[in-house]
């Protein structure tokens, strides 16, 4: 099986600032590899219209999997909890319309490989602890750098009701556990009783001012058939602190708190699985790869045009998109 994986195409920005044919060129580049699966790990656009436009233009005849990024969940500054509505309703409907499998709703088996994942959210665990005496948790929660007033834009556009980041992060971690249960990859007894897990999710979404649909959480059952030899985790948020870049500058390093969540990587590592484990993610715009705790980890962002070393898009894609044989 051939997997083409990338994140952070930011098609709205790159089409406007760099090349109006950006998505077409990207589609042609991927098509040339004749992949069996395309996996996008988030951040196509904060605009639903632009997300639709991307899916209309990105036409490839293969399995197509998507997990949204933080930008994809952006809503109006006047919204109270609109990011939940995009995550649970609008984006899944768009994916269904254009033939994409929305991975947060359900894991999927393709041949002998299981794919599972969701957005994830940052919990400040990837911050540079060097600055802990100078940057408080409250300072991170405000998402405004106290040293130069730089703003992390989720402050304005990511709306999850009254939830703090660490509570949003907990929801996504619990949802990932539920999907692992659905796939039969972990037993409820390994993490929490089913009822405890359900009550935690209800409590978080209630505080997030989003009406909880109990049909979303199903009892544990085995969805996959046959022998699963490969397990691919997809998240937008970085699951391993090793991939976060520090500059030993408090103005820069402040924002590292919003890059990842080490608990996601810990959960991946805890899964008792004898086959090949692969982690696909983005969010940070530095393409990297490493093996961490026997997990092949690939950070696969396309990023913004001002971050590229080349003006030729095919050269950009060749250095930032991962083609894997599984």
Domains of the chain: 2-325 (3.60.21)
Beta-strand relationship, 37-40 and 2-6 = parallel
In this structure, the chain runs to a length of 326
Distance separating alpha carbons of residues 20 and 8, to the nearest angstrom: 17
- Strand (E) positions, 185-225? none
Distance separating alpha carbons of residues 102 and 67, to the nearest angstrom: 6
In the sheet that holds 322-325, the strands lie side by side as 101-102, 63-66, 37-40, 2-6, 322-325
Chain centroid to Cα 131, Å, comes to 27
Backbone angles phi, psi at 74, to 5 degrees: -70, 145
Give the number of C-alpha atoms closer than 13 A to the C-alpha of residue 243, restricted to the C-beta side.
31
pLDDT per residue, tens digit, the chain (326 aa), is 999 999 999 999 999 999 999 999 999 999 999 999 999 999 999 999 999 999 999 999 999 999 999 999 999 988 888 999 999 999 999 999 999 999 999 999 999 999 999 999 999 999 999 999 999 999 999 999 999 999 999 999 999 999 999 999 999 999 998 888 888 887 655 555 667 777 888 888 888 778 766 565 554 455 677 789 999 999 999 999 999 999 999 999 999 999 999 999 999 999 989 999 999 999 999 999 999 999 999 999 999 999 999 999 999 999 999 999 99
Distance separating alpha carbons of residues 285 and 254, to the nearest angstrom: 16
State residue 218's pLDDT score.
Answer: 54
0.85 exceeded by pTM: yes
């Amino acid at each position: 099986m051939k997997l083409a994986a990338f994140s952070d195409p930011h098609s709205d920005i790159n089409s406007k600032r760099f090349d109006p044919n950006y998505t077409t060129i990207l589609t042609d580049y991927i098509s040339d590899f004749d992949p069996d699966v395309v996996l996008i790990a988030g951040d196509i656009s904060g605009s639903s219209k632009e997300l639709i436009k991307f899916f209309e233009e990105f036409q490839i005849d293969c399995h197509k999997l998507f997990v949204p990024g933080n930008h994809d969940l952006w809503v109006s500054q006047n919204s109270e909890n609109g990011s939940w509505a995009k995550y649970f309703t609008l984006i899944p409907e768009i994916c269904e319309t254009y033939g994409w499998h929305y991975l947060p709703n359900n894991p999927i088996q393709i041949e002998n490989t299981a794919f599972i994942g969701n957005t994830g959210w940052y919990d400040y665990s990837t911050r540079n602890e060097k600055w802990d005496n100078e940057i408080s948790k409250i300072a991170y929660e405000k998402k405004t750098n106290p040293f130069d007033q730089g703003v992390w834009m989720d402050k304005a556009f990511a709306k999850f009701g009254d939830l703090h980041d660490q509570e949003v992060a907990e929801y996504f971690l619990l949802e990932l556990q539920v999907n692992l249960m659905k796939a039969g990859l972990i037993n409820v007894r390994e993490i929490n009783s089913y009822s405890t897990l359900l009550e935690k999710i209800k409590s978080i979404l209630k505080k997030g001012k989003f009406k909880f649909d109990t049909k979303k959480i199903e009892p544990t059952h085995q969805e996959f058939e046959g022998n699963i030899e490969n397990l691919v985790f997809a998240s937008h948020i970085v699951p391993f602190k090793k991939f976060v870049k520090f500059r030993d500058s408090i103005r820069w390093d402040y924002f590292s708190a919003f890059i990842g969540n080490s608990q996601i990587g810990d959960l991946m590592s805890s899964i008792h699985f004898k086959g090949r484990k692969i982690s696909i993610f983005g969010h940070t715009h530095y393409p990297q790869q490493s093996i961490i705790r026997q997990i092949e980890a690939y950070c696969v962002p396309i990023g913004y045009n001002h971050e590229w070393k080349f003006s030729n898009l095919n050269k950009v894609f060749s250095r930032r998109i991962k083609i894997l044989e599984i």
